[in-house]
Structure 1
């Protein structure tokens, strides 16, 4: 082929190279490279913040497209399992008070963590995490991504470390960095504000005067006396609330423990399927690109042929290129088979998701998809308990001893 012909074919060749380059992806794969920082000394009890981790947003909307790679049954399970894994990580560091998984954020938490699943396969996990304390101070609002190492799913690996433990460790270390930036007084104020916000939620007329608020930030404007009957009643009701929160946390803990084995099997299979999908995608694109170049070259060669032999050779190039392009399409069809395999794996996990029923103070709470609604109902019951125990509406409670200054 003449230099002139090659020059004219260059755009098609460049396009094919770009297509091939685009289908190559690189990822850094490692095992537990980031360690969670553990406490080296005992932290004063008054500075140990309680942490509530709300069940994550599963990160999809209905209807889910068939080839999206998202399986609702699995995502719903992961929305509870990922907070469970983060709970275990934070609790193990010794830097925090009780760490609990709850159905939804609530006003009684000293530090609330919420999250959303952006991507989750056996190979890749990406989540958005937001952490806000009782004062309204935002500690974290960022995304975390991790790619699992193939060794994580190998029988030869005796460590049994979660394939995405590095991600949880990074979240824990970032939270610790924020905690260390606060003074002892700020940490104690957060605990006080958590109590006041809980009290204000149940009895706003009695406790609103103790809270200052500027936009989304809260501050302590005054403190009721420890001997105040309302304070004693709120403490008693808060203890009951903790009992339900502990029961909810225990549910999510048991849930995490029970689905660990089948979920690990799903992730291992998903990891292999993801690798197969990537391999098929690369082969499909490569064959289609090579086939397209062959067809373009053959057509151009036929147009430039000066004899029948050259024309026949060019025609052969067109046929060969067309065949490669077709096999690329066939590889795309094979991809659908792997997607179906992932779908079946996802559906098989749903059988492990069973609702639980617990009894607390004579009230039945169903822990399932309606756990959030059940908790809201419980909070309404707590308000009624407060009203019944005081015998009057909270509006008649005494105001703070000193008149609080006006918020700026």
Structure 2
């Protein structure tokens, strides 16, 4: 029996994750399970409806800011699970880590967040390639979001309204790791080491890796432990880790500076969506106005319409204010790290190029 194809514009979404408890490791996992993870700066989608309703410049900037803020929430959750090794937020793929986590934010407001997650390890094995959806309710937001000198934002009391989605993603990664054998995880770490070595000196380490029948990278041979070239690679990797720790620290600073204003904006977004929903339900039908009940009903509906417009204007001002609030933090993020220049993404690329050049120069110096 054939079934009709769904309409081209029909969008299928996953079921909401619901309430999700984080899979926390009471005891530190074995060394071979402590994979190093890089969470990339997120990609974002800007929907035309947002641009048309509130202005493209406002929401494109909010989405851009979210791209730097949300990955740190993911990183914090992964660390809190006590399941992994080093976890860092980085501007792009890093050759020194075991597992790369990428995300595209397909929808994000005070009411819902929809993200597509892709997690791939250094061998090329896909851990995750799926969408996650989380919905917020009134109970997910704090009673008070207005921040004043007398009532400052308290990060210790604030609970992320969409924490369930990050818990669900973290749990999915743990579940996938548990399906891998000890040898597969050991081999994965070896591949990571050789990938970084090959990234620095492809002419020296390219033959140490090959793809197997499943198109996964595998180590063909390992250099001797006292290999001077490998020792240089290890020295360079130590320097590289110091650099990416600094980069991650910049993202942490941005996250902390954005957190109060982002919490306010998201609560206003939640209220605005609820207001729009109520207004739509109470839309006045002019053809049946004689059956609407009374003059009181008419005035109530008019008041609802008037207040919805006032709220919409206030929401737009809050959105623009959020962008102005986090603007200095974004500028701080893009300040020079270790004498480099440009955006954080550009500085990261410069750093990798400098490391390769430095490695090449040191390799020419006789022992």
Q: Same fold (TM over 0.5)?
A: yes
Q: What TM-score, normalized by structure 1, do the two folds share?
A: 0.73
Partner SS state of residue 166, structure 2? helix
- Structure 1, unmatched stretches of 5+, are 1-26, 296-315, 393-408
For the pair shown, the structure with the greater C-alpha radius of gyration is 1
Number of equivalences: 329
Q: What's the C-alpha RMSD, in Å, of the aligned pairs?
A: 3.1
Question: Residue 80 in 1 paired to residue 68 in 2?
Answer: yes
1:353 is aligned to 327
Q: What residue in structure 2 maps to residue 364 of structure 1?
A: 340
Distance 1:190 1:117 in 2: 28
Superimposed CA distance per residue, residues 37-67 of structure 1 (whole angstroms, 9 cap, x where no aligned partner): 1113232223310010000002228997322
Q: 2:45 aligns with which of 59, 65, 81?
A: 59
Aligned-pair CA distance for 1:200: 1.1
- Using the TM superposition, give the Cα deviation of residue 198 of structure 1 relative to its aligned residue in structure 2, in angstroms: 1.3
1:387 matched to 2:332? The reply is no
Kept after mapping to 2: 8 A contact 1:152/1:160? no
1:136, CA displacement in angstroms?
Answer: 0.6
Mapping of residues 7-406 of structure 1, within 5 Å: 33-60=19-46, 65-67=51-53, 71-155=59-143, 160-213=158-211, 217-284=216-283, 287-288=284-285, 291-292=286-287, 294=288, 338-351=311-324, 352-354=326-328, 355-356=331-332, 357-360=335-338, 363-365=339-341, 370-391=343-364
Change (3 A) 1:129 1:29: closer
- Whole-Å Cα distance in 2 between the matches of residues 103 and 185 of structure 1? 31
Residues of 2 paired with 1:280 and 1:271: CA distance?
A: 14
Separation of aligned partners in 2, 1:380 and 1:63: 41
Q: CA deviation at 1:226?
A: 1.3
| 1:139-181 deviation per Cα after TM superposition (whole angstroms, max 9, x unaligned) | 1111111111202223289953210011111011111000111
Compared CA separation, residues 167 and 69, structure 1 to 2 (3 A) = farther
Change (3 A) 1:28 1:76: closer
Cα 1:330–1:218 shift into 2, 3 Å: farther
CA contact 1:281–1:331 (8 Å) conserved in 2: no
Structure 2 residue matching 1:246: 3-state secondary structure:
helix
Q: TM-score, normalised by structure 2?
A: 0.81
Residue in 2 that maps onto 1:313: none
